[in-house]
């Protein structure tokens, strides 16, 4: 019953945040609580389901990153980036240890990820200012996680990792490249759906593979 509550709370808060907050500018405590709770309850459910420890850690670090990114200021942003980078590394460790054959077309897809990472020097780095080196480090960590995910063929895990990477690309566009776009709400909603579903699918894939 408690497990169902946690999963329901995570999904419910994710819907509330996506519908009423993710596309709005500004920072307030209700926004922070809802965004953080959407991932924190998922982490609690993962722990209750005895999910792999690295997956629980990745979800928990995601909740921490969500909290910091929902708060104003450069320090909070850097703290959020650090938490998400640690979460990506936790998933990387899990993916490396996950038994199974490599994903189909793993090598070409890995080359695509490397090319995408390299391309950020053209479309992202010029917009990051003083945050250029932290952003570069974060791009490297994301790329490592994606390549590690391609080392196995669990469909849900691959889909989750792909959506998580997509959400980071969309976040980079929203924060640095198109911060004042007139249709920014479309980007914000798509980003949130990709992010939360990515984490959810990684958890489901990990439970399926256990």
**What tens digit of pLDDT does each residue of 112-122 get?**
999 999 999 99
Q: Is 85 helix (H, G, I), strand (E, B) or coil?
A: helix
- The answer to whether the beta carbons of residues 149 and 198 sit under 8 Å apart is no
**Domain boundaries of the chain, sorted by first residue:** 2-209
Residue (of 80, 58, 78) closest to 69 by Cα position: 80
Average pLDDT of 52-80?
96
- Predicted local confidence at residue 26, as pLDDT: 81
Q: Is the pLDDT of residue 2 over 70?
A: no
Model confidence band, residue 101 (pLDDT cutoffs 50, 70, 90):
confident
User: Is pLDDT above 90 for 24?
Assistant: no
Let me know if 199 is exposed, middle or buried by CB neighbors in 10 A (0-12, 13-18, 19+): buried
pTM metric for this prediction: 0.94
Q: How many CB atoms lie within 10 A of CB 103?
A: 19
How many residues does the structure list for the chain? 210
Give the burial string for 131-145 (b: 16+ CB within 10 Å, else e). beeebeebbebbbbb
Residue 132, CA distances (Å) to 16, 81, 125, 170, 173 in order: 33, 12, 6, 17, 14
Average model confidence (pLDDT) across the chain = 93
Q: Is the pLDDT score of 150 beyond 70?
A: yes
Gap between the Cα atoms of 150 and 104, Å rounded: 8
CA dihedral 157, 18, 58, 170 (to 10 degrees): 70
Q: Who wins on pLDDT, 179 or 148?
A: 148
């Amino acid at each position: 019953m408690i497990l169902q509550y946690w999963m329901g709370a995570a999904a419910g808060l994710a819907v509330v945040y996506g519908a009423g907050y993710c596309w709005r500018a500004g920072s307030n405590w209700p926004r922070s609580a809802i965004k953080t709770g959407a991932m924190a309850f998922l982490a609690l459910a993962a722990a209750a389901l005895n999910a792999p420890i690295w997956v629980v850690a990745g979800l928990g670090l995601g909740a921490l990153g969500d909290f910091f990114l929902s708060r104003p200021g450069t320090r909070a942003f850097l703290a959020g980036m650090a938490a998400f980078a640690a979460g990506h590394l936790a998933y990387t460790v899990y993916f490396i240890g996950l038994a199974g054959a490599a994903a189909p077309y793993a090598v070409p897809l890995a080359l695509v990820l490397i090319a995408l990472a390299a391309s950020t020097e053209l479309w992202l780095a010029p917009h990051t200012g003083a945050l250029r080196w932290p952003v570069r480090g974060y791009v490297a960590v994301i790329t490592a996680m994606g390549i590690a995910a391609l080392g196995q063929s669990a469909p849900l895990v691959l889909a989750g990792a792909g959506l998580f990477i997509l959400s980071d690309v969309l976040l980079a566009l929203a924060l640095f490249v198109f911060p004042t776009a007139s249709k920014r709400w479309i980007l914000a909603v798509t980003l949130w759906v990709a992010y939360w579903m990515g984490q959810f699918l990684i958890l489901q894939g990990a439970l399926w593979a256990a």
